[in-house]
Amino acid sequence: MSKLDGKIAIVTGAGRGIGRAIALKLAVEGADVVINDLDPEPLSETADAVRATGSKAHVVAGDVTAPDFGERLVAEALQAFGGIDIIVNNAGYIWNTTIQKNTDEQWYAMLDVHATAPFRVLRAASNYFRDVAKREGQPKCRKVVNISSMAGVTGAATMAAYSAGKAAVIGLTKTLSKEWGRYNVTVNCVAFGPIETRLTQDVGDGSKSIEIKGHDLKVGLDPGTRGMMKMLTPLGRPGTPEEAAGAVYLFCIPESDYVSGEVLLCAGGLLA
Protein backbone atom coordinates (compact mmCIF):
# COMPACT_ATOMS: atom_id res chain seq x y z
CA MET A 1 0.00 0.00 0.00
CA SER A 2 1.05 3.57 -0.66
CA LYS A 3 1.28 5.91 2.32
CA LEU A 4 -1.72 8.05 1.27
CA ASP A 5 -4.12 5.35 0.10
CA GLY A 6 -7.69 6.38 0.88
CA LYS A 7 -6.78 10.01 1.64
CA ILE A 8 -8.53 13.04 0.14
CA ALA A 9 -6.31 16.05 -0.56
CA ILE A 10 -6.99 19.64 -1.65
CA VAL A 11 -4.24 21.51 -3.53
CA THR A 12 -4.70 25.12 -4.65
CA GLY A 13 -2.70 26.61 -7.49
CA ALA A 14 -2.22 23.17 -9.03
CA GLY A 15 -2.22 24.08 -12.72
CA ARG A 16 1.52 24.57 -13.05
CA GLY A 17 4.88 24.35 -11.33
CA ILE A 18 5.06 23.43 -7.68
CA GLY A 19 1.29 23.05 -7.23
CA ARG A 20 1.06 20.59 -10.11
CA ALA A 21 4.01 18.63 -8.73
CA ILE A 22 2.38 18.49 -5.28
CA ALA A 23 -0.92 17.23 -6.70
CA LEU A 24 0.88 14.53 -8.71
CA LYS A 25 3.07 13.48 -5.76
CA LEU A 26 0.04 13.02 -3.51
CA ALA A 27 -1.81 11.18 -6.27
CA VAL A 28 1.09 8.82 -6.98
CA GLU A 29 1.11 7.98 -3.27
CA GLY A 30 -2.58 7.07 -3.39
CA ALA A 31 -4.56 10.21 -2.57
CA ASP A 32 -7.57 11.42 -4.55
CA VAL A 33 -7.08 15.12 -5.19
CA VAL A 34 -9.27 18.21 -5.43
CA ILE A 35 -7.28 20.65 -7.54
CA ASN A 36 -7.69 24.36 -8.17
CA ASP A 37 -6.19 26.96 -10.44
CA LEU A 38 -7.13 30.31 -11.92
CA ASP A 39 -6.51 29.03 -15.47
CA PRO A 40 -8.80 26.18 -16.60
CA GLU A 41 -6.54 24.80 -19.37
CA PRO A 42 -3.46 23.88 -17.30
CA LEU A 43 -5.78 22.76 -14.51
CA SER A 44 -7.42 20.29 -16.89
CA GLU A 45 -3.98 18.99 -17.88
CA THR A 46 -3.11 18.43 -14.21
CA ALA A 47 -6.39 16.58 -13.72
CA ASP A 48 -5.57 14.25 -16.62
CA ALA A 49 -2.11 13.61 -15.15
CA VAL A 50 -3.60 12.83 -11.72
CA ARG A 51 -6.06 10.37 -13.25
CA ALA A 52 -3.25 8.72 -15.18
CA THR A 53 -1.73 7.71 -11.81
CA GLY A 54 -4.90 5.79 -10.96
CA SER A 55 -6.15 8.37 -8.46
CA LYS A 56 -9.27 10.48 -8.84
CA ALA A 57 -9.26 14.22 -9.54
CA HIS A 58 -11.97 16.81 -8.97
CA VAL A 59 -11.47 20.21 -10.58
CA VAL A 60 -12.45 23.50 -8.91
CA ALA A 61 -11.39 26.33 -11.22
CA GLY A 62 -11.49 29.87 -9.89
CA ASP A 63 -9.83 32.72 -8.06
CA VAL A 64 -8.75 31.78 -4.53
CA THR A 65 -9.08 35.43 -3.48
CA ALA A 66 -12.84 35.56 -4.22
CA PRO A 67 -14.69 36.05 -0.92
CA ASP A 68 -16.78 32.90 -1.38
CA PHE A 69 -14.05 30.67 -2.76
CA GLY A 70 -13.00 28.95 0.46
CA GLU A 71 -16.55 27.85 1.22
CA ARG A 72 -17.05 26.65 -2.37
CA LEU A 73 -13.79 24.69 -2.44
CA VAL A 74 -14.50 22.86 0.80
CA ALA A 75 -18.13 22.17 -0.15
CA GLU A 76 -17.11 20.70 -3.51
CA ALA A 77 -14.44 18.52 -1.91
CA LEU A 78 -16.94 17.10 0.56
CA GLN A 79 -19.55 16.59 -2.14
CA ALA A 80 -17.10 14.91 -4.53
CA PHE A 81 -15.25 12.65 -2.09
CA GLY A 82 -17.08 12.78 1.25
CA GLY A 83 -14.15 13.94 3.35
CA ILE A 84 -10.91 15.93 3.60
CA ASP A 85 -7.63 14.60 4.97
CA ILE A 86 -5.03 17.01 3.55
CA ILE A 87 -5.17 20.69 2.59
CA VAL A 88 -2.24 22.32 0.79
CA ASN A 89 -2.57 26.10 0.42
CA ASN A 90 -0.19 26.67 -2.48
CA ALA A 91 -1.76 29.27 -4.82
CA GLY A 92 0.25 32.47 -5.22
CA TYR A 93 2.27 34.73 -7.47
CA ILE A 94 4.71 37.63 -7.24
CA TRP A 95 4.15 41.33 -7.90
CA ASN A 96 7.35 43.02 -6.82
CA THR A 97 8.66 46.55 -6.71
CA THR A 98 10.51 48.89 -4.36
CA ILE A 99 8.35 50.27 -1.57
CA GLN A 100 8.17 53.81 -2.97
CA LYS A 101 6.51 52.36 -6.09
CA ASN A 102 4.39 49.82 -4.24
CA THR A 103 0.71 50.69 -4.69
CA ASP A 104 -2.11 49.83 -2.33
CA GLU A 105 -3.46 47.52 -5.04
CA GLN A 106 -0.20 45.54 -5.10
CA TRP A 107 -0.05 45.39 -1.33
CA TYR A 108 -3.56 44.03 -0.92
CA ALA A 109 -3.20 41.65 -3.87
CA MET A 110 -0.20 39.96 -2.24
CA LEU A 111 -1.87 39.74 1.18
CA ASP A 112 -5.11 38.49 -0.36
CA VAL A 113 -3.58 35.59 -2.28
CA HIS A 114 -0.92 34.51 0.23
CA ALA A 115 -2.66 35.09 3.57
CA THR A 116 -6.38 35.86 3.23
CA ALA A 117 -7.12 33.05 0.75
CA PRO A 118 -5.55 30.31 2.96
CA PHE A 119 -7.35 31.81 5.98
CA ARG A 120 -10.71 31.54 4.20
CA VAL A 121 -10.08 27.97 3.04
CA LEU A 122 -9.11 26.87 6.53
CA ARG A 123 -11.98 28.75 8.16
CA ALA A 124 -14.34 26.95 5.79
CA ALA A 125 -12.78 23.59 6.71
CA SER A 126 -12.91 24.21 10.46
CA ASN A 127 -16.48 22.98 10.94
CA TYR A 128 -15.71 19.74 9.10
CA PHE A 129 -12.55 19.10 11.15
CA ARG A 130 -14.41 19.77 14.40
CA ASP A 131 -17.48 17.71 13.52
CA VAL A 132 -15.59 14.70 12.17
CA ALA A 133 -13.33 14.68 15.24
CA LYS A 134 -16.42 14.50 17.48
CA ARG A 135 -17.91 11.68 15.39
CA GLU A 136 -14.70 9.66 15.36
CA GLY A 137 -14.09 9.99 19.09
CA GLN A 138 -10.39 9.32 18.63
CA PRO A 139 -9.92 11.23 15.36
CA LYS A 140 -7.43 10.11 12.74
CA CYS A 141 -4.65 12.56 11.95
CA ARG A 142 -5.42 15.11 9.24
CA LYS A 143 -2.93 17.50 7.68
CA VAL A 144 -2.67 21.14 6.63
CA VAL A 145 0.41 22.38 4.78
CA ASN A 146 0.66 26.09 4.04
CA ILE A 147 3.19 27.38 1.55
CA SER A 148 5.48 30.27 2.43
CA SER A 149 8.79 31.48 1.04
CA MET A 150 12.27 32.32 2.19
CA ALA A 151 11.15 35.92 1.65
CA GLY A 152 8.57 35.42 4.40
CA VAL A 153 11.25 34.16 6.78
CA THR A 154 14.07 36.64 6.09
CA GLY A 155 12.52 39.41 3.96
CA ALA A 156 13.77 40.31 0.50
CA ALA A 157 14.47 43.57 -1.31
CA THR A 158 11.65 44.72 -3.64
CA MET A 159 9.29 42.21 -2.01
CA ALA A 160 7.62 44.15 0.82
CA ALA A 161 4.08 42.99 0.03
CA TYR A 162 5.03 39.45 -0.99
CA SER A 163 7.22 39.00 2.09
CA ALA A 164 4.46 40.33 4.35
CA GLY A 165 1.92 37.90 2.89
CA LYS A 166 4.28 34.95 3.18
CA ALA A 167 5.17 35.90 6.77
CA ALA A 168 1.48 36.17 7.63
CA VAL A 169 0.81 32.59 6.58
CA ILE A 170 3.52 31.45 9.00
CA GLY A 171 1.64 33.17 11.82
CA LEU A 172 -1.60 31.54 10.65
CA THR A 173 0.15 28.15 10.63
CA LYS A 174 1.43 28.45 14.19
CA THR A 175 -1.90 29.70 15.52
CA LEU A 176 -3.98 26.94 13.96
CA SER A 177 -1.52 24.28 15.11
CA LYS A 178 -2.52 25.34 18.62
CA GLU A 179 -6.25 25.59 17.92
CA TRP A 180 -6.60 22.34 15.96
CA GLY A 181 -4.47 20.01 18.03
CA ARG A 182 -7.68 19.01 19.82
CA TYR A 183 -9.00 17.71 16.48
CA ASN A 184 -5.76 15.81 15.72
CA VAL A 185 -5.05 18.13 12.78
CA THR A 186 -1.40 19.01 12.24
CA VAL A 187 -0.70 22.41 10.67
CA ASN A 188 2.74 23.02 9.18
CA CYS A 189 4.39 25.26 6.63
CA VAL A 190 6.98 24.79 3.88
CA ALA A 191 8.97 27.90 2.92
CA PHE A 192 10.62 27.62 -0.47
CA GLY A 193 13.89 29.08 -1.59
CA PRO A 194 14.93 29.06 -5.26
CA ILE A 195 12.79 26.56 -7.18
CA GLU A 196 12.77 26.28 -10.97
CA THR A 197 9.38 27.66 -12.05
CA ARG A 198 8.18 30.30 -14.49
CA LEU A 199 8.53 32.82 -11.65
CA THR A 200 12.29 32.18 -11.41
CA GLN A 201 13.07 31.35 -15.05
CA ASP A 202 16.10 32.83 -16.79
CA VAL A 203 14.90 35.93 -18.64
CA GLY A 204 18.13 36.26 -20.63
CA ASP A 205 18.20 39.53 -22.57
CA GLY A 206 14.43 40.10 -22.51
CA SER A 207 11.67 40.39 -19.92
CA LYS A 208 8.90 37.85 -19.41
CA SER A 209 5.53 38.31 -17.81
CA ILE A 210 2.41 36.50 -16.66
CA GLU A 211 -1.12 37.86 -16.90
CA ILE A 212 -3.05 37.97 -13.62
CA LYS A 213 -6.43 39.71 -13.41
CA GLY A 214 -5.65 42.02 -16.32
CA HIS A 215 -2.14 42.90 -15.15
CA ASP A 216 1.04 41.87 -16.97
CA LEU A 217 3.45 41.06 -14.16
CA LYS A 218 7.16 40.67 -14.82
CA VAL A 219 8.61 37.35 -13.71
CA GLY A 220 11.93 35.59 -13.94
CA LEU A 221 15.47 36.48 -12.95
CA ASP A 222 18.37 37.89 -14.90
CA PRO A 223 21.38 35.59 -15.42
CA GLY A 224 23.49 37.50 -12.91
CA THR A 225 20.94 37.08 -10.11
CA ARG A 226 20.48 33.41 -10.91
CA GLY A 227 24.22 32.89 -10.91
CA MET A 228 24.61 34.60 -7.55
CA MET A 229 21.80 32.50 -6.09
CA LYS A 230 23.46 29.31 -7.27
CA MET A 231 26.76 30.42 -5.78
CA LEU A 232 25.19 31.14 -2.39
CA THR A 233 23.20 27.90 -2.27
CA PRO A 234 25.26 25.07 -0.73
CA LEU A 235 23.71 22.52 -3.12
CA GLY A 236 24.79 24.76 -5.99
CA ARG A 237 21.52 24.81 -7.91
CA PRO A 238 17.83 25.68 -7.66
CA GLY A 239 15.40 22.96 -6.67
CA THR A 240 12.95 21.25 -8.98
CA PRO A 241 9.16 21.39 -8.52
CA GLU A 242 9.29 17.68 -7.73
CA GLU A 243 11.79 18.30 -4.92
CA ALA A 244 9.56 21.08 -3.60
CA ALA A 245 6.62 18.67 -3.65
CA GLY A 246 8.70 16.18 -1.70
CA ALA A 247 9.09 18.65 1.16
CA VAL A 248 5.31 19.12 1.31
CA TYR A 249 4.83 15.35 1.19
CA LEU A 250 6.89 14.94 4.37
CA PHE A 251 4.17 16.76 6.31
CA CYS A 252 1.41 14.63 4.74
CA ILE A 253 2.59 11.14 5.69
CA PRO A 254 1.98 9.22 8.94
CA GLU A 255 5.60 9.60 10.02
CA SER A 256 4.93 13.32 10.69
CA ASP A 257 1.76 12.80 12.77
CA TYR A 258 3.44 14.31 15.86
CA VAL A 259 4.93 17.30 14.03
CA SER A 260 2.85 20.48 14.08
CA GLY A 261 3.40 24.23 14.02
CA GLU A 262 6.72 23.89 12.19
CA VAL A 263 8.23 25.79 9.26
CA LEU A 264 10.44 23.70 6.96
CA LEU A 265 12.80 25.66 4.71
CA CYS A 266 13.22 23.92 1.37
CA ALA A 267 16.08 25.98 -0.07
CA GLY A 268 19.09 23.80 -0.76
CA GLY A 269 20.79 24.87 2.46
CA LEU A 270 20.66 28.58 1.59
CA LEU A 271 20.15 29.61 5.22
CA ALA A 272 22.18 26.79 6.75
> Please, are residues 64 and 115 in contact by the beta-carbon 8 Å criterion?
no
Quote the CA–CA distance of 64 and 271 in Å, as a whole number: 31
pLDDT for position 223: 63
> Please, are residues 26 and 9 in contact by the beta-carbon 8 Å criterion?
yes
> Please, are residues 243 and 198 in contact by the beta-carbon 8 Å criterion?
no
What are the helix (H) ranges across the chain? 17-28, 40-52, 69-81, 104-111, 117-136, 150-154, 160-179, 223-232, 241-250
Kindly state whether residue 232 falls inside one of the protein's structural domains: no
Quote the CA–CA distance of 64 and 2 in Å, as a whole number: 30
**Beta bridge pairs of residue 145:** 88, 188
pLDDT for position 229: 77
pLDDT digits (tens), the chain, 272 positions: 799 999 999 999 999 999 999 999 999 999 999 999 999 999 999 999 999 999 999 999 999 999 999 999 999 999 999 999 999 999 999 898 899 999 999 999 999 999 999 999 999 999 999 999 999 999 999 999 999 999 999 998 989 999 999 999 999 999 999 999 999 999 999 999 989 976 665 555 555 666 667 666 666 566 666 677 788 899 999 999 999 999 999 999 999 999 999 999 999 998 87
Kindly state whether residue 100 falls inside one of the protein's structural domains: yes
Number of structural domains in the chain: 1
Kindly state whether residue 68 falls inside one of the protein's structural domains: yes
208-212 and 215-219 as β-strands: parallel, antiparallel, unpaired? antiparallel
pLDDT for position 230: 80
Residue 150 sits in a domain of what CATH number? 3.40.50.720
Active-site position among 93, 108, 128, 162:
162
pLDDT for position 160: 96
CA atoms within 13 A on the CB side of 188: 22
Quote the CA–CA distance of 19 and 147 in Å, as a whole number: 10
> pTM of the entire structure?
0.93
Kindly state whether residue 187 falls inside one of the protein's structural domains: yes
Query: Containing domain of residue 132, as a range?
Result: 8-194+240-265
Q: Which sign, positive or negative, has the C-alpha torsion 174, 178, 181, 185?
A: negative
pLDDT for position 206: 52
Quote the CA–CA distance of 228 and 140 in Å, as a whole number: 45
Kindly state whether residue 203 falls inside one of the protein's structural domains: no
- Average pLDDT value for the chain: 92
Kindly state whether residue 131 falls inside one of the protein's structural domains: yes
pLDDT for position 93: 92
pLDDT for position 271: 86
Active site residue 162: yes
